[in-house]
Amino acid sequence: MLDIILIIARFILLVALAPFIGGLIGKIKNDLRMRKGQPVLQPYYNLRKLFSKEAIIPVNSSWIFTCAPFIILASALACILLLPNASQIRSPDGAASLLIIIFVLALGRFFQALAGLDAGSSFGGMGSSREMFISSFVEPVACLSIFSLILSGANFSVSTILTGLALLTVILTETSRLPVDNQETHLELTMIHEAMVLDYSGPHLAIIELASYIRQIFWITLLALIILPTYPLIAIGSAVIAICVLIAFIEIGIAKFRLFRVPNLLMFGFLLALLSIAAALVRI
Amino acid sequence: MNLLLSNIRLLFVFDPLALFFIIVILLVSFPALIYSIGYSKGKSTPLTLAFIASMLLLVSSANALYFLIFWELMSLLSYLLVLTDSENEQAVSAATLYIVMTHVGTAFLLAAFCFIYRASGSFDLSAMAAACQAMPQLQRDLLFICFLLGFGTKAGIVPLHIWLPYAHPQAPSHISSIMSGVMIKIAIYGFIRFVFCILGINSLWWGVLLLTLATITCLVGIIYALMENNLKKMLAYSSVENIGIILVAISLAMIFVDQKLFPLASLAMIAGLYHVVNHAVFKGLLFLCAGSVQKGAKTLNIEELGGLIKKMPWTALFFLIGAMGISALPPFNGFISEWLILQAFFRGAISVSGKMTLLLAVGAGALALTSGLAAACFVKVFGISFLALPRSEKAAEAKEVDWTMLISTGFLSVLVIALGLAAPFVIKMLAIIPASLFGTTPPIASLFNLYPPPNAVAMLSLLSIAMLLGIFLVMRKKSHPGATWDCGYYKIDSRNEYTATAFSKPFRITFGFFLLPFRRTELVKASSYHVSSFSHETRTTKIFKKYLYDAGLAVMMRFARSFRRMQAGSIHIYIAYIFVTLIFLILFLRII
Amino acid sequence: MEMLTLFAIFLVSAESTLAQKFSGLLRSFRLQSFFLALLTLLAAYRSNSIELYFVGSLILIIKVLLIPHLFQTLIKGINVSDNLGLFVSPQLSLFSAGILGIVSWSFSNQIMHGTDLGQLIIGVSFFVMLVGIFLMISRIKALAQVIGLLMMENGVFLAATVIPGGAPFFIEIAVFFDILVSAMILGLFIYRIKAIFTHIDISKLSGLKG
């Protein structure tokens, strides 16, 4: 019984805080850029605005276009629900849950890419193509990071740090951050995630944005849990904030990679994960 | 050697492994037969029935000689079925390539069987198993290589796969679905039966070799599938990839058996067999849907399709279900089997030694990569063929197919969903097979010890509430149709859409070291300011066919041509050859 | 008596290699078959078996009378020249026949250590077979091939008489009818070849070489 209450509480907390994290990263970036920028709670205002607007459905599209946002949101919510407990993360059972999460995320991504192709514009197709391209290289990195989780033992060992770095590359890719993708632009040369959702509007767009915020907070929480599995909630919270700061610094400090260089980044992440496995085998 | 069945009850064995494969065969063949009623008005049904019967007899035979007989029969009948459209020159050459390669494989099998027969004196499977236990290691290694080559040719392991992408597209769609869904699994059955049960595994390098080959097969298959624009050829390459996945699981089972980790071996075997039935079902479904597309839209070229979801809604839905199954998306069946294989990797990594852990890690990474690439491939296929606007007149005039074809594809789609949702039940059923092979039960209970408990109910209920709320919120507002954003051009048509070649371009560039793409552009200018036409041609090189097989064939043809000098065309010379040989034999060898 | 017949068969077979015309070859073949029939009848008389009488008379009828008659009508019908066409000159052919005789003699030495007569018969039968093959190799026209084949058949029959207990009767009868039918078919084919190609020169087949 207590378990279920804890799960539901965690679920509500993470879903409620998801847009806040997005706003937080944006605020830190603007502070670093010496700009006033948007308020921290801007994502909430955006979502409220979008929910009050009408949705415009392109004439060329089919039922996939209208159903995709819900499937994407459902997959994002399922990730939060399936997130293993801190004590379970290093065990094979926790790894099994994480594997399920990866496939569930793939479900959301599949329908998002289909929705991008459904509108019939070049932008959508381009976004879908790039998204599927990059995500297929993310999968081995994520898989190997989970792999090394099972093998490593103590906190703050070399293998955990390397796993954390590998997961950082995964986070940058999955949350569409620089150097992989730029969330602030709508130029065809530079957008991946934005291109797929270009034709969405109103509540559909709100749902998709919410789903991407939820995915973001999921990955950041996962990274925090991996680094500090046995520490209390406050420590996890501050780790999350620290990771947000780190992501903001990376986004400010680096330019976007050319599309064909992104696999190089992910291969680097793959190597990091392999190294962490090797480190775990040598027990350092 | 008693060929006449005086002891007929020894002929058939119905142990769990054979029963499982019989179920797989029947599950895919029945819909295909019903499909053929609408697709080709039941042409070549007797051949198809004989083909299915030969496969059924093959998996249930207890005698290696009958195994071979039915194996050859199966190959011959499928060759004839591939040749159904025998006026098409491509079909003839594809069928020839197929029959030659399958015979080469069967030669290896024959060699292996005769070798074992010499040691055991009988073709019965139990006697052969006993004989193999007593053989020295070198002979067992040789037998393993023979079995690998023999069954690998039929299954489609790289580099023995080159017949698959030519033969499967040329056959009629229901035959392709049976061949791709069932026939290549028969090779898996043979492999399991002869390597696990008869030969007995006692070397680590067998499993490692197979794991390496299977991983390469996965990656090669899916990369080539991404490049294809012909629907059926893409599905054929995807079959190569999935056979690789099945063999990854089987090789894991081999490794674990050698290390005496029998529960893990059972887990890997369950994963492999689950993927066998999954792939049979969804590949059968996809090939039947491809046939429906061919019947409805008269073309299989993805670049000419588009917008079929509005013209052929049911086929589109079933194709989507099949695509979701093959891309391993929850809650359909492909997800369960791939998840199980990854579980086998993970749980095995804890129990094996250091170097093997690294190997298993790389294998798991490769498997994750192929599943990502497979999802990309099927997004491309489904998205470009079925969504948005039609790219040609053929697609614009497409019509939905008739009910026999819809019923068969619908049945298989329901099966895809059912095999996914009923996973615990299926796994419990499948656990019987490794129990009969190894004698242990796998750790099923711990598989479902996921966190958070109680898992499914809480998750699903919360999710459904969330979705209903969302739908409610959205439906409250009016939503009205508008035009797609087209950057201010006043007319948007199918030329604006993304093409299939463009979709796969990032992959073509990234994997260019392997695909060796070839590109040619031609620019025709009417004047220095006006370009009147621009053509762009791109192709990839099939390195296995070009550098391995064609090169080998060229050497053989050169050799054969040099022998032509002996064939002077005169009967006298030929008789003289016989005469001289006869004299030689009599005088010098004292043989009459 | 048998020795004399055997010697006659030997001489006639050697003489057939000298033939330059078709009529000559046919005549040698008839003589050979005649002496073979004689030998068979002698053996029948000695062993008092009805079957061998029957076989002997069959040889007489089919190989001495029927088949040569068939071929003579064939030749008149297709209207080719009587010339046989030789790759190998008659002298060289005879010399080769001599070599073949030595070969068959050494062969019979090797395999037969029994009675003197048996050894001789094996030797001669083998000689006849080898001469048959030799004729097939060294003569151009298709008809010579047929005669060579029939001579080989003669040799087989000769060898069959040495087998203790005699070759099974039905086998002999079956082989006979086989020969008859083959001869008819071969004759028909040569007729057709001549009709289509207007010659029966099989060295022209070398135009088909790869």
Model confidence pLDDT, tens digit, residues B424-443:
888 888 888 888 887 666 55
Say yes or no for a CB contact (<8 Å) between B506 and A103.
no
Bridge partners (DSSP) of residue B537 are B520
Provide DSSP, B59-97. HHB-BHHHHHHHHHHHHHHHHHHHTTSTT-HHHHHHHHH
Chain segment C70-87, per-residue pLDDT in tens:
888 877 776 667 777 788
* Interchain proximity B473–A51, CB inside 8 Å: yes
Distance, CA of C43 to CA of C120 (rounded, Å): 15
d(CA B164, CA B154): 9
Residue burial B94-119, b: 16+ Cβ < 10 Å; e: rest: bbbbbbebbeebbebbbebbebbbee
CA dist., res. A91 & res. A89, Å (int) = 6
Cβ distance B587 to C106 less than 8 Å, yes or no, reads yes
The 10s digit of each residue's pLDDT in C186-200 is: 777 777 777 777 766
Distance CA B322, CA B319 (A): 5
**Neighboring chain C residues of B575 at a CB cutoff of 8 Å:** 133, 136-137
The Cα–Cα gap between B573 and C109 comes to 29
Residue B98, strand partner residues? none
CA distance A14 to chain B (A): 14
Q: A162 CB near a chain B CB, below 8 Å?
A: no
Residues, chain A: 284
| C–A contact: 3+ Cβ pairs < 8 A | no
SS3 B536: strand
Q: Does B462 touch chain C (CB under 8 A)?
A: no
CA distances from B509 to A122, A264, B506, B540 (A): 20, 13, 5, 11
Mean pLDDT of B578-592: 73
Q: How large is the average pLDDT for residues B406-435?
A: 88
Interface test with A, best of B223, B346, B359 (most A CBs within 10 A): B346
> Taking CB atoms and an 8 Å limit, are C203 and B575 in contact across chains?
no
Nearest CA to B296 out of B282, B315, B320, B321 is that of B315
Q: Is the CB of residue A3 less than 8 Å away from at least one CB of chain B?
A: yes
* The three-state (H, E, C) secondary structure of B186-212, written as one string: HHHHHHHHHHHHHHCCCCHHHHHHHHH
Q: CB of A268 within 8 Å of any CB in chain B?
A: no
- Look at B575 and C133 and tell me if their CB atoms are within 8 Å: yes
Chain C environment of B570 (Cβ under 8 Å): 202-203, 205-206, 209
Whole-number pLDDT of residue B8: 42
Whether residue A274 has pLDDT greater than 80: yes
Q: Does B579 touch chain C (CB under 8 A)?
A: yes
Q: Kindly state the tokens that stand for A225.
A: 């849990």
CB contact (8 A) between residue B462 and residue A81: yes
Neighbours of chain A (3+ CB pairs under 8 A): B
Contact yes or no for B176/B294 (Cβ under 8 A): no
Q: Are the beta carbons of C103 and B568 separated by less than 8 Å?
A: no
B571: amino acid identity, one letter:
I
| pLDDT for position B448 | 55
And the tokens for B195? 């390597």
Does B506 lie at the interface with A, CB-CB under 8 angstroms? Answer: yes
Domain residue spans in chain A? 46-282
Selected residues 18-47 of chain A with any CB under 8 Å from a CB in chain B: none
What does the pLDDT read at residue C154? Answer: 86
Q: How far apart are CA B568 and CA A196, in angstroms?
A: 70
Q: How confident is the model at residue B459 (pLDDT cuts 50, 70, 90)?
A: low
Residue C172, H or E segment: helix C169-197
Interior angle at CA C36, CA C30 and CA C39, nearest 5: 145
Rg (CA), chain C: 17
Chains adjacent to C (≥3 CB pairs closer than 8 angstroms): B
CA–CA distance from A3 to each of A7, A9, A88, B242, B263 (Å)? 6, 10, 14, 39, 30
pLDDT digits (tens, 9 = 90+) for B181-232: 999 999 999 999 988 888 888 888 999 999 999 999 999 999 999 999 999 9
Cα-only R_g, chain A: 19
Classify A210 as helix, strand or coil.
Answer: helix
> Which residues does chain A have within 8 Å of residue B474's beta carbon, measured at their own beta carbons?
55, 202-204, 207
Lookup: tokens for B251: 């090789």
Residues for chain C: how many in total?
Answer: 210
Q: How do residues A34-93 score in pLDDT, each as one tens digit?
A: 998 889 999 999 999 998 888 888 888 888 888 888 889 888 988 888 888 777 788 887
Which residue has 């022998």 as its token pair?
B563
Per-residue confidence (pLDDT) for residue B454, from 0 to 100? 44
Collapsing DSSP states into helix, strand and coil, what is residue B289? helix
Which of A256-270, B374-388, B428-442, B458-472 bottoms out in mean pLDDT, i.e. has the lowest? B458-472
The closest of A183, A176, A244, A197 to A72, measured between CA atoms, is A197
Whether B304 shows a pLDDT value over 70: the answer reads: yes
Confidence grade of residue B585 (pLDDT, cut at 50, 70, 90): confident
Query: Between chains, do C202 and B579 touch, taking CB under 8 Å as contact?
Result: no
Q: Residue holding tokens 């793409």?
A: B517
Q: How far apart are CA B246 and CA A125, in angstroms?
A: 32
The Cα–Cα gap between B551 and B544 comes to 10
Test C206 with B568 for CB contact under 8 angstroms: yes
Chain C within 8 Å of B448 (Cβ-Cβ)?
Answer: no
| 3-state secondary structure at position A56 | strand
Average pLDDT over residues C83-100: 85
Interchain proximity A11–B447, CB inside 8 Å: no
Q: Which amino acid type is present at position A15?
A: V
Place C167 in a pLDDT band, splitting at 50, 70 and 90.
low
Nearest to B590 among C110, C203, C207 (CB): C110
Cβ atoms A122, B496 nearer than 8 A: yes
User: What's chain B's length in residues?
Assistant: 592
Is the sign of the CA dihedral B1, B3, B7, B10 positive or negative?
A: positive
Helices (H), B121-200: 125-133, 137-155, 164-170, 173-178, 184-191
A90 inside 8 A of chain B by CB: no
Q: Please, what is the angle between helix B89-120 and helix B125-133, to 10°?
A: 60
* Bridge partners of residue B535, in order along the sequence: B522
Tally DSSP H helices, then E strands, for chain B: 28, 3
| B286 and B323 Cβ atoms separated by less than 8 Å | yes
**Residues in Cβ contact with C198 at an 8 Å cutoff, skipping those fewer than 6 apart:** none
pLDDT (mean) for C158-168: 69
pLDDT at A97 over 90: no
Question: What does the pLDDT average to over B377-392?
Answer: 91
- Catalogue the long-range contacts made by A39-46 (C-beta closer than 8 Å, 24 or more residues apart): A43/A19, A43/A209, A43/A213, A44/A19, A44/A20, A46/A206, A46/A209
Q: Quick check: A217 contacting B, CB < 8 Å?
A: no
Handedness of CA B306, B307, B308, B309 (dihedral sign): positive
Amino acid at C173: I
Could you say which of B571, B576, B592 has the minimum Cβ distance to residue C205? B571
What are the distances in angstroms from CA A257 to CA A262, A266, B409?
6, 12, 44
Instruction: Name the residue type at position B31.
Output: P
Look up the pTM and report it.
Answer: 0.82
CA–CA separation, C122 and B28 (whole Å): 66
Contacts of C30 (CB under 8 A, 6+ apart): C63, C64, C68
Confidence class for position C19, pLDDT limits 50, 70, 90:
confident
- What does DSSP say about strands A55-58 and B479-482: parallel, antiparallel, or unpaired? parallel
Of B570, B583, B586, the CB nearest to C203: B570
How does pLDDT run across A14-23, given as a tens digit for each residue? 999 999 999 9
pLDDT of residue B224: 93
Q: First vs last Cα of chain A: how many Å apart?
A: 39
Alpha-carbon distance B144 to C60, whole Å?
Answer: 64
Distances (CA, A) of A180 to A141, A172, A261: 15, 7, 9
Distance CA B541, CA B555 (A): 20
Mean pLDDT of A105-127: 90
User: Hey, what's the torsion of the CAs at C114, C118, C123, C127, to 10 degrees?
Assistant: -160
CB within 8 A of B412, min separation 6: which ones?
B28, B31, B281, B282, B284, B285, B288, B318, B322
Tokens of A186: 């709508």
Inter-CA distances, A146 with A99, A143, A159, B414, C146, Å? 8, 5, 12, 33, 83
Average pLDDT over residues B521-543: 84
Whether the Cβ atoms of residue B363 and residue B211 lie closer than 8 Å to each other? yes
- Contact: C210, B567; criterion CB under 8 Å: yes
Contacts of B590 in chain C (CB under 8 A): 110
Find the farthest-apart pair of alpha carbons in chain B and give their distance in angstroms, rounded: 104
Question: Which residues of B, range 549-568, sit inside 8 Å of C by Cβ?
Answer: 564, 567-568
